[in-house]
Structure 1
């Protein structure tokens, strides 16, 4: 077998993936027994946070800052790029996990209304979530596996990535806040209403746009360290793995826009608001994903 499969980054990913899917299996077993979907999003955020922690501190590695016993100090042993990559991932996971968990406690999740009573099929959703956690934050896990001494200084690509992440996160937080506020205001009229103000006047799914944008930003500043790992005298990362990381934001965008995010909501809204003329005008005039000014003179 190609020895490049056993580079440091490749080895470090194994325990991270085991932890990821271990959390999913524990979450599934509890949720299947209780026939509830309320812990699904909570397990996702927990997986992101734990896997990020493991990728940064690597407690299984005798040379890691967690186990080496040297008086290095954490901040001296971790590169600023790793701090940014890990910090942004944890912030996103903590925010979205708590937001979705509280929403699930209040309203449940219609996606699992039937599936949660079928343990075998329910497991598929949890395994898909494990893949989501593994691929989405893959660039973060990889850049954390590269020793701080090899990381190059922060450069233009990093700052562009930080700006993209920040823009995406703010966009998502504001969109979620606006929709949550609208939902409280309309109350029982929810089934005959839809939000079309604020960021929702620029996109029918601005929260999803923000989610995709922040992961593109995360890839940008994480991947700026990859060339140094490839060019090291003893390569720390294989070439094919550095290319695999680019699938992270692409996978997020594909899943959200083509599989489980926007398509499900679009079908649900079309069914729920099929007799609401204003909704169909809004849908025709407003971009589905990328925010743009609404089209005028739409009949």
Structure 2
């Protein structure tokens, strides 16, 4: 297996979407650009969801239109439907992400439709993306548990991942939205999905609600996954998942990967400085790795 792990930095989108006060557009742009300068190869920039749904990202056009995109860095954006796709394309987005869940209850609360309806909703988006040569990533939420229905059968995760794969998603991110997963469950879920979708097209996305995210990532790395989602300074939380704390911190993930002898191409000190800066801007705690490194320097 390759010793290179691709980190998908989701801080500017997933990390900021649930913040309680409006973050200045200038701060969002600076965050994206500073993250790209750390050696990250993928920085999820924003979301073209309707403003009433996610007010924090209502400035998506301005943010994406003004960032200075660095050669070799990908800047995917989230889109919910054809309108969102059109908005994203108008400002030059060339990679998108669509989203659904493995839990019917969560999907109805989150995007007000069934899983089947969500797949139908973005089918035309995938058709247009294919025609335009736009890469598509698919998110599957609640793969290890749902705040409304509790346990989520692995068979449902497989079914949804298969549907996204067959629809043309180049990569599928499996998300533990409420952070209830443990290493054995996470690995079993991943390996079961990988029987239907090639491992090289899978990614993992863990929230750290119970402090299990790094352990879960380690277990999934052992199983063969090589794409990991994370958020600088551990920013984030799902607005539709009560009690779900932030994503695993990118600094913590990179430190662990360095210790395993795996390669990311990321400058950890530079990343720690970005985490320290954005945590200060948002009055949020720093990541543990970030704090440790900056105190030592």
Q: TM-score, normalised by structure 2?
A: 0.21
Q: Which has the larger radius of gyration?
A: 1
Structure with the bigger percentage of strand: 2
Q: Which has the higher contact order (CA 8 A, sep 6+)?
A: 1
| Bigger proportion of residues as helix | 1
